[in-house]
Amino acid sequence: MSVKLELYRVFQEVARMGNISAAAQNLYISQSAVSQSIKQLEEQLQVRLFSRSTRGVVLTSEGKLLLDYVSHGLGLIRSGEEKLAQSRQLMTGELIIGASDTVTKTYLLSRLESFHRDYPAIRIRILNGTSRMVLDFLRAGQVDIAFASEPGDTDLYSLRHCVDTHTVFVAAPDYDCSFEHPYSMEEIARFPLILLERKASSRLYIEQFFQQHGVAIHPEIELGSHNLLISLARIGLGVACVTEEFSQSGLGSGVIRPLRLDFEIPARAVYMCTLRDVAPTSAAKRFMDFVSESNKMAYDPGHSYHFPET
């Protein structure tokens, strides 16, 4: 039979004080309310919990047995309430993020460093994967936040824009090509291409873009790491298809150069995704706000921002 939690609280306080009047004072209720609560509890449990005398009340053997469990149970509830309060104040908690290696290194790393410095008690976990994989993690409840490119089912997710990204084709400065010539899609497709593996969202995007214009691309090399795309292009193994924003170190130092194109590849975007009908944890909500605040500062004309080295 279900018994109201408040009856147990009254029972514990009467047992602790050994006096109904003193328990009533501590609980800020009347003596009659305390007596009625004990009577109701005894009736529901069908046992006598206290022996009454002129000096107060004493637990019966059944009452002593019950008190052990009630004290333990109420103690656990108090601990849970304290943990929840700490979580709301970000004094404890866990944050699980799903993101690709590239997004983690080039976009999240500095933000994670700052967040961890401000909230060191929050345990941070990261599950790496492609956009499709981290969205699967999100739907399965394995991560709190997923960072993904162009989520398909926008009715399922709440989205916050993080950064626009642009696709470029790059090669080593001494590669056998002209960096002044504007290349067509057909000409790009004839190069030994270095692309990410097929399951990567950026690979699917560029492949579908070329196909929409009647051009098929067949890479010479397929890789699982954006960093390796740049590394292999740098040593002259071919023309790599990379994300400009995530390749600033190589482009800035001149170890790779972008090819000119006679066509424009539409920009994409990375979004911070949560499930629309699931309230984020306190830690997840704070991190999302933290990222949004850092984005505003990063793209404020009064501030300069550089992506970390790749």
* DSSP code per residue over 200-211: SHHHHHHHHHHH
- Do 175 and 237 lie in a common domain? yes
Are 197 and 144 in contact, with CB atoms under 8 Å apart?
Answer: no
Number of domains in the chain: 3
Nearest to 96, CA basis, from 157, 140, 64, 52: 140
Q: Please answer whether residues 195 and 221 qualify as being in contact, where contact means their C-beta atoms are separated by less than 8 angstroms.
A: yes
Give a yes or no: residue 310 inside a domain: no
User: SS3 for 151?
Assistant: coil
**Is residue 126, in this structure, part of any structural domain at all?**
yes
Cβ-defined contacts of 13-18 (< 8 Å, 24+): 14/38, 14/50, 14/57, 15/50, 15/59, 15/63, 15/67, 17/56, 18/56, 18/57, 18/58
Q: Which domain holds residue 155?
A: 94-163+271-298
Residue 305 belongs to a domain: no
Tens-binned pLDDT, residue by residue, of the chain (310 aa): 455 889 999 999 999 899 999 999 999 999 999 999 999 999 999 999 999 877 789 999 999 999 989 988 887 787 667 666 665 666 667 899 999 998 999 899 999 999 999 889 889 999 999 898 999 999 988 999 999 987 777 788 999 999 999 999 999 999 999 999 999 999 999 999 999 998 888 999 999 999 999 999 999 999 988 999 999 999 999 999 999 999 998 999 999 999 999 999 999 999 999 998 888 888 888 899 999 988 876 544 333 333 343 3
SS3 67: helix
Asked if residue 188 and residue 127 are part of one domain, the reply reads no
Give yes or no: residues 281 and 212 share one domain: no
